Amino acid sequence: MAHAKAVLVLENFIAGKFVPCSSYIDSYNPSTGDIYCRVPDSGKEEVEAAVKAAKNAFPIWSSKSPLERSQILNKLADLIEHDLEEFAQAESKDQGKTITFARTVDIPRAVYNFRFFASSILHHTTECTEMATMGCVHYTSRTPVGVAGLISPWNLPLYLLTWKIAPAIACGNTVVAKPSEMTSVTAWMMCKLLEKAGVPHGVVNVVFGMGTKAGEALVCHPDVPLISFTGSTLTAQRIMEKSAPHCKRLSLELGGKNPAIIFDDADLAQCIPTTLRSSFANQGEICLCTSRIFVQRGIYSDFLKRFVAEAKKWKVGNPSDPTVDIGALISKEHLEKVRSYVKKAQAEGARVLCGEGVDPLALPAGNRKGYFMLPTVITEVKDESCCMQEEIFGPVTCIVAFDTEEEVIERANSVKYGLAATVWSSNVGRVHRVAKRLQSGLVWTNCWLVRDLNLPFGGMKASGVGREGAKDSYEFFTEVKTITIKH
C-alpha cells in the first residue's frame, strides 16, 4: 500500500557525512500513532566506524585552543537558534510534547547549553602549590581524555543531548553520540549544521539505534574511555557491568521519585501552580518531576481541593495547539505502563481524584490514536505502595498528609532514589534545616526547575553517579595531571 506521504528517513552521521544503514526502525508520532520517521538500526559496525572517525579527529581538535573551540560552539548555538521554530516543531512531533514546551524550554536550552560551555571553558584555572622547604613547585594540568560515548534519553531529546555534547567537545574531546531511537530527529537536524558551524569532520558523530545494540556496542568499545548516560537506573546497571572490564569513567544521571513537601505556612497562591507544573510539565516525563506530594495536615484538605480543581483545567490534546498544556506520552507501551500504576493504586485501595479512569478524555479526531492521558491525582496511598516507591514518569502524582517535620523528612527519604526535592515554607530556618537533611542532589525551595548551570546537577543513591555542571563536567571530560618541578 502506498504511503499517503513520504516518511522521513534518518541516516547516521559519521566523519562529517550522512551514511545510510542496512536496516531501520520505525519511529512514531505519539500524538497520532502514525509512523513519523525511520531510524537507522545501528550495531557494532556503525559504532566501529564512528569511533574510528572520532579517534582520527581527536589530535587536531584537542590541540585547538579553548578560544577556537568556544567560537565554534557559539556559531553552532547561533545556527540552532536561527532554526528554532523548525527544531521545536520536529521535537514536538517526534516526542509528543507540546509545541509551547519545545519552543520555550527544549530548544532554547539546547542553544544555551552550547553558549554556556563556550563561555565556561574560557574561565577554568588550574591549581599550584609551593613547597619552599623542598624547593618544589606543584601545579596541575588538564587535558582532554579522548572519545566520549554519549547516550541520551527520549524525554528532552536535544536539550539533554547538547548538555553532553557541549562540555565534551568544549574540553577538546571528540564524541560518538547515541540519542534515543524514539526521538532522533532533532539530533539528525543538528548534524546538518555542524559543518557550517566549523566543527571539523569526526569531532561529532551520531549513531542512531537501540540501546541493546548500538548503545551496548558503544559502551563495550575499548577505545571509548568515557561514557555519559542519562536514562533509567536499570540501563545504568547494565552500563556499569559492561564497562567494568575497561575501567571506564562513568557519569550516570538516572531516575527520581521526587518529593514535594508543603508546610502549613506555604504560600499556596504560588505553591499550587508551581506544583502542578512540577507534577505534570512535559507530561510528567522529566526526571525532576514531583510524584510524591506531602502536605501538612492543617492545609491538606484545602490544598487537595484546590490542586485537583486546577489539575482538571489542564488541557490535554494536539501538541501543536498552543493552548494545550499536556501533549502525548512517548509510546503506546509507556502509556500502558503509566496506566497500570493507576490501576495498581486503585487495587490497593487508593483513591483517584481526577484524570485516568475518572474523567472523560476528549481528543480531536486526528489524535484519537495518540498516546494521551489526563493529569491524574492519587490520594489515600501508602508509602510502601509501588506508586510511592517507583518512578512512573507520566502525568501522575500522589498526595498524602503529614504531621511533623521530623516525620516528613524520614518519609521523603524512604525511597531508593535521591535526585530532587521541593520544599514549600515561609520559615527560613525550617527551609535550611529540611534542605540539609533531604537525601537529594537538588533541593528547590518555594520554586521548581530554576537552574544555574554553573552548579552541580545530579542525584544521590539510585539516582546516579557523578555530577554535571560547569566545574563538574569540566572535571569529568578532562584528565588531570599533577606536575612537580624541583628548582
User: How many Cα neighbours within 13 Å face the side chain of 426?
Assistant: 8
Sign of CA dihedral 443, 444, 449, 454: negative
Q: CA 175, 173, 441 angle in degrees (round to 5)?
A: 85
Among residues 253, 356, 391, 468, which one is catalytic?
253
The label of the residue with cell 559492561 reads 242
- The CA distances from residue 335 to 149, 231, 394, in Å, are 30, 17, 8
φ/ψ of 69, rounded to 5, equals -65, -40
Closest by CA position to 224, among listed 242, 210, 198, 208: 242
| Nearest-angstrom CA–CA distance, 149 and 174 | 9
Integer Cα distance of 118 and 77 in angstroms: 9
Question: How far apart, in whole angstroms, are the C-alpha atoms of residue 102 and residue 280?
Answer: 15
Question: Which residues neighbour 435 within 8 Å (Cβ) at sequence distance 6 or greater?
Answer: 421, 423, 443, 445
Q: Environment class of residue 73 by beta-carbon count within 10 Å: exposed (0-12), middle (13-18) or buried (19+)?
A: buried
Provide the 3-class DSSP secondary structure of residue 162. Answer: helix
Residue tagged 537507522 (cell numbers):
40
H or E, element range at 9: strand 8-9
Consecutive H or E run containing 189: helix 185-197
The candidate with the shortest Cα–Cα distance to 113, out of 154, 158, 146, is: 158
Fill in the DSSP letter of residue 211: I
Distance CA 296, CA 404 (A): 8
Alpha helical stretches, state H, 83-156: 84-95, 99-101, 107-120
Question: Under 8 Å CB-to-CB from 460, ≥6 apart: which residues?
Answer: 418, 419, 439, 440, 441
Task: Tell me whether residue 475 is one of the annotated catalytic residues.
Answer: no
- Residues with catalytic function: 253
